[in-house]
Structure 1
Amino acid sequence: MSKLSLDRILQSQGFGTRKYCRALIEDGDVAVNGATVDSYKATFDTDGLVLTVFDEEWPYREHVYIALYKPANFECSRKPSHHPGVLTLLPEQFTWREVQPVGRLDHDTTGMLLMSDDGPFIHAQSSPKRHVPKVYQATTAEPVTAELVAHMLAGVQLNDEPAPLKAVSCVQRGEHTLEIVLEQGKYHQVKRMLAAAGNHCSALHRSQIGGLTLESLGLEEGEWCFLDQAQLDLLVPA
């Protein structure tokens, strides 16, 4: 890889405009691999490079792949209208990097949300052709019945869909709890399917995408982490 000037590297990592990045460097607020650098024209190979900005380490990443434990009452839109956006839960650098959610969760839905600034990755993970299974825990307003489970598995007809939508799996976990696996990722799909099947979803949580579980990440609500290659590989359907 060709070398890049330090101001360009900082800008690519989301630390602000070129002008602001140059000021950071000239003020002595930036170190590269442990050594302070005060010239924005200094060039570096980005492979294995570790930045320290305001005493916080930031390994260079060409793209970022993030898992967020989304709390309730946060919107996935970059321009939220009624609740704070999920980007407010991340460092400001990610807004500069134009990180965005991979798909969306409703504002009142909790659980795993993937985020990235890698366009092809976002497109691939969002495509219904990938058939990436997603696991949800749904709390129902009315008690779960065997008929409801059978209906979800056989297929539920929604008004704007040409054919019934089926759950890959639907298992009762409690009197008012279902574990549902879907592959399609349609708009408000779990809630709409339950409503069409004669019940109502009062709470929804996403615990797994592909083979990657939220539990394995050890996150609390509102926390996030970078995903490594092994974790990204779990997102690919077998």
Structure 2
Amino acid sequence: MSKLTLDRILQSQGFGSRKYCRSLIEDGEVAINGEVVDDYRFAPDTEGLAFTLFDEEWVYREHVYIALNKPANFECSRKPSHHPGVLTILPEQFSWRDVQPVGRLDHDTTGLLLMSDDGAFIHAQSSPKRHVPKVYAATTHDAVTDELIAQLLGGVKLHDEPAPLAAVTCRKLDAHLLEIVLEQGKYHQVKRMLAAAGNHCSALRRTAIGGLQLDALELEEGEWCYLDAEQLGLLVPA
């Protein structure tokens, strides 16, 4: 079991600099098991540690794994240029602990976005070698046809791509709504594939990554949740 002093624990959880965390403790803002702890050198076991800060309950997490139902008009960049960053949706301490999006969704694309401060997890989930299927619901300008689906399944040629890119599966959900499953993560891939097939994507929503379904998380747009071990286990190749 890890033995960190209380000021380091608060710092690791994103509550500010070590100096600031010490001041919080010395001011009596931190309680464990209902008892105020004002000695920053106190070193509780972090396993299962729960503490109260500013009268709000927190649980120690070595790393955080988050699912966000991303709204439109938020950028996944840490240095957004034209729209607010997705990190502004989350509590401020997640920025302090360097939480980052796992991959990116375009600013106007909505739906399931993973975020974490675990570098190994981010790298593994972002690797194209993993072939984790990502499911999208695309609203199309023109009606969805059998010919369009056949083109997407057969592969379409995109500019700057050496070989045609194909959907893993593709099916019509409604007259202008298409479900498309991809294993790559190319720039604007769904939109570019639809354009190459002679249609236009007017709205795009990611509904699943691997076996993790956005609907099962019951998140409204702009809401987020922690992912547990069972849910993380769903983020595997098909």
The TM-score range, normalised by the shorter chain, is over 0.9
**Deviation of 1:51 (Å):** 1.8
Give me the whole-angstrom Cα distance separating, in 2, the residues matched to 1:192 and 1:237.
24
Amino acid at match of 1:79: K
Partner of 2:35: 35
**Structure 2: segments with no counterpart, 5+ residues:** none
**Deviation of 1:185 (Å):** 1.1
Give me the whole-angstrom Cα distance separating, in 2, the residues matched to 1:188 and 1:33.
49
Query: TM-score, normalised on structure 1?
Result: 0.98
1:162 and 2:165 equivalent?
Answer: no
Give me the whole-angstrom Cα distance separating, in 1, the residues matched to 2:130 and 2:67.
19
- Name the SS of the counterpart of 1:194 in structure 2: helix
Q: Deviations over 1:116-156 (max 9, x none)?
A: 00000000000010000010000011111111110000001
- Name the SS of the counterpart of 2:14 in structure 1: coil
**Structure 1: segments with no counterpart, 5+ residues:** none
Amino acid at match of 1:18: R
**Deviation of 1:2 (Å):** 3.6
- Name the SS of the counterpart of 1:43 in structure 2: coil
**Deviation of 1:181 (Å):** 0.4
Give me the whole-angstrom Cα distance separating, in 2, the residues matched to 1:230 and 1:194.
34
Give me the whole-angstrom Cα distance separating, in 1, the residues matched to 2:181 and 2:20.
46
**Deviation of 1:89 (Å):** 0.5
Partner of 1:52: 52
Partner of 1:68: 68
Give me the whole-angstrom Cα distance separating, in 2, the residues matched to 1:137 and 1:2.
44
| Contact in 2 for aligned 1:11/1:21 (Cα 8 Å) | yes
| Contact in 1 for aligned 2:2/2:47 (Cα 8 Å) | no
Partner of 2:193: 193
Partner of 2:130: 130
RMSD: 0.8
**Deviation of 1:114 (Å):** 0.1
**Deviation of 1:58 (Å):** 1.0
1:180 and 2:180 equivalent?
Answer: yes
Give me the whole-angstrom Cα distance separating, in 2, the residues matched to 1:64 and 1:206.
21
